[in-house]
A and B are shown apart, each in its own frame.
Chain A
Amino acid sequence: MRVPQFGLRSVRHKLLAGVLLTSMAALLVTGVAMLIYDLRSYHETQVNDLTTQAEIVGRSSAAALQFDDSKFAGDNLALLSSRPGIRAGAIYNARGALFASYVRKGTDRNALPLLPETDGVHIKGETLDIYRRVVENGEILGTVYLQSHYEFYERLWSYVAIVLGVSALALAVSWLLSLWLQASVTRPILDVTGVARNVVERRDYTLRATKSTDDEIGYLVDAFNDMLAEIGRRTEAMETSNRELERQIAERSEAERALRDSERRNRTLVNATTSVVWTADGNKLFSTEQLAWAQYTGQPPDECHGKGWRKALHADDCELMDGKWAGAADAKEPFECEVRLWHAASAGYRFVSLRAAPVLDAEAGVVEWIGTVTDIHDRRHAEEEIRTLNAELEERVRNRTEELQSTNKELESFSYSVSHDLRAPLRAIDGYSQMLEEDYRERLDGEGQRLLQVVRQEASKMGHLIDDLLAFSKLSRKPVDTSGDVDMTHLAKDVAEELMREREVERVRLDIWPLPSVRGDRALLRQVWVNLISNALKYSGSKPRSEILVTGEVTNGAATYRIADNGVGFDMKYAAKLFGVFQRLHKSDEFEGTGVGLAIVQRVVTRHGGSVRADSKVGEGATFYFTLPVRTEND
């Protein structure tokens, strides 16, 4: 804290000045008094001493004067040399002539006066002259003159110097005294002041001044600290009260804001709503003017008064409303009902939502009803429309579902018929051809037998077509169960082994490398292997030695299987047709087949969430790929 500089106005300086002035005054008065006293006594001593000396010289020289013995008188004067203060002496006879004289060495002889003066003391500068008549028996014999060194001014100046020196010393002492005073008086006061200033600046009422003395200042410090404590308590109480007040103000302003918001919202709501607001008394009568009601229904105010308002309601709906209202009145609860109300503007009844709530008095009696009328005509129409549309939609969905189901059933019975009825004629064709062949062999020539063979071959081919078609259509109908783990290596080897039974082992080299397992429908996946491996065998059958390699790998969460053969291959421009039903890239007299095998492969793989593709060059073999998703346990 900055201590202000009071300069000469400071207490310290005032104290100092007081001490100094007091000391100086005392010193001066004392010094002047002593000076006056000393100078005065000096003067008197000198005068008395010199007078006495002159008396002695006079008396001792009286005889010499009487006898005119100047020598004797001169000897007497010479005795004055023992008195260093006396510078000259002379004796004058009665006539005033110099009789004898003495002059101290170093003193001007002309200092002696030529004529004696009357008795008296004369002071001229540093010289004290005295004249004394020598009287003997009443006769004036002569005059003694003594000149002495008068040290009046020397003394004066000495005294002045002493007084000044003492004053200086006193000043120094006073200054030291003031330092002590500052320490013992000013500093505690300054401390208190500093604390007071700190308190003002920091508003910290816990500060306390340090009590260092037990005197009045200590008492002042105590009083100051007590005052601080009291101020602190008061301030705290005031601040607490202020905070409380602020909080209350904040609460009130918040409440006021909420109220304003609520008011605004309500006003907006009232403005925005198309509701009609009405009030009825406890007996459900309109007792006051109902402007909104009158405006909506077009009833003149006097007509809707009392029970008249009910006339605006559709007659069929009064009962519904009365029932609801009676229930609400008993329970003293709000009610709501949808009724038709006459709407003047559209000159017709419109559906409205009639709501009302009871206003209760202190005894829980219904004083009045406050209600609204909300036009829900359009909404209700829209709802009805939606209901109708929904119903229609549901009906259509139901019809479509039934159609689908019946189509499915038809399809099912169709394939049932196909499997049952189409086969029977085929069997008959084949059977009767053979019976013909058996029973009439002798009567048929070679050509006749060949024609019969053709009939039987074609019947057989049609049988295969029917079988494959049925198998393929079953694939679409049957749900695929992909929950089972399928060991593809095992499955492929099993299939290969079965297919190889009908073939010459030496002409085929069929390698199956370890294949990734998948989850899928084992029977369907088996069919995939059957079709692909038998295809590979079939189309490489024209080579001296069939070479077929089956491999598989897992990449990016999918298992890809690869069946490569060294067969006739196909032209890639027909690759798109490869997997279509009844699509064949080879003439049937080159390779047997119905064109369903690869379609089945594609359908099975697709239904497992996978894909198929093929790669080939004419005459350089073909490679078929199929990819299946590999699912982890978590899937």
Chain B
Amino acid sequence: MTDYDQVEILLAEDNARDAEMTMRALRRINLGNKVHWVKDGEEALDFLLRKGDYQDRDPSQLPKLILLDIKMPKVDGIEVLRQVKADETLQLIPVVVMTSSNEERDVVDSYRLGVNSYIVKPVHFAAFVETVANIGLYWVLTNRVPSEA
């Protein structure tokens, strides 16, 4: 996908398997082609702050949801979350942390930074697919965000 302006979900996930399974789950609810996958925190920030490869992206077009893994190379999810929530424009985008970490510390840190939801990835694929689908349905299709971003 090259048209960044059509992106409704930004998926930050270093694990290609998880990313594929996530996108497969999102495809089931017909959100598959509106997902942009970035492989680490740095790329996620580049996309959101229009740097590097993403510097030409239309600033008025913001994703409706950020799916954020915590443990990522270079810049981790917590740092991405911090910068998103510190940015006046970006802070309006709902951020759902999807991680394998069940650590209380990560949960607390995320909520302190203003995460909108914190999901532990189920090990079972069936449960995983269902969870991702629920997230997509809720945050992209059900949830309302401020229209004037």
A residues bordering B, Cβ < 8 Å? 416, 419-421, 423-428, 430-435, 456, 459-460, 463, 470
Contact = CB atoms under 8 A, between A and B. Distances in A.
Contact of B101 (A420, A433, A456, A460): A420
Interface stretch (B17-25, B43-51, B78-86): B17-25
B6 interface: no
B88 interface: no
Interface in B105-149: 121-126, 128-129
B103 A426 contact: no
A432 to B, nearest CB: 7
Contacts of A427: 17-18, 21, 100, 121-125, 128
B71 interface: yes
A431 B121 contact: no
Contact of B128 (A431, A433, A456): A431
A419 B102 CA distance: 7
A459 B123 contact: yes
Given A427-B21, A431-B17, A431-B21, A420 B100 contact: yes
Interface of B: 15, 17-18, 21, 24, 70-71, 99-103, 121-126, 128-129
Nearest to B13: A424
Shortest beta-carbon contacts, A-B, top 3: A428-B17, A463-B123, A431-B125
A430 B21 CA distance: 10
Given A424-B15, A424-B17, A419 B123 contact: no
Nearest to A437: B125
B67 to A, nearest CB: 15
Nearest to B70: A420
Nearest to B106: A416
Contacts of B70: 420
Contacts, number: 60
19 contacts: A416-B101, A419-B101, A419-B102, A420-B71, A421-B100, A423-B100, A424-B100, A424-B121, A427-B17, A427-B128, A428-B15, A428-B17, A431-B17, A432-B125, A433-B125, A434-B126, A460-B123, A460-B124, A463-B123
Given A421-B71, A424-B15, A430 B102 contact: no
Most buried by B among A416, A425, A460: A416
B17 A432 contact: yes
A428 B125 CA distance: 8
Given A420-B71, A427-B128, A432-B125, 4 more contacts: A420-B70, A424-B100, A427-B125, A430-B123
Given A420-B71, A421-B71, A424-B18, A430 B124 contact: yes
A539 B1 CA distance: 54
Contact of A435 (B15, B24, B122, B124): B24
Nearest to A430: B125
Contact of B99 (A420, A426, A432, A435): A420
A459 B124 CA distance: 8
Nearest to B102: A419
Contacts of A435: 21, 24, 125
A425 B125 CA distance: 11
Contacts of A460: 123-124
A565 B17 CA distance: 45
Most buried by A among B70, B123, B124: B123
B103 A416 contact: yes
B121 A423 contact: yes
Contacts of A416: 101, 103
Contacts of A421: 71, 100
Nearest to A470: B102
Given A459-B123, A460-B123, A419 B128 contact: no
B24 A423 contact: no
A114 B70 CA distance: 203
A419 B99 CA distance: 10
Contacts of A470: 102
A471 to B, nearest CB: 9
A113 B63 CA distance: 214
Contacts of B17: 424-425, 427-428, 431-432
Given A433-B125, A463-B123, A419 B21 contact: no
Contacts of B102: 419, 470
A434 B71 contact: no
B97 to A, nearest CB: 12
Contacts of A420: 70-71, 99-101
Nearest to A435: B24
A478 to B, nearest CB: 9
Contacts of A459: 123
A272 to B, nearest CB: 66
A603 B82 CA distance: 38
Contacts of B125: 427, 430-435, 456
Nearest to B71: A420
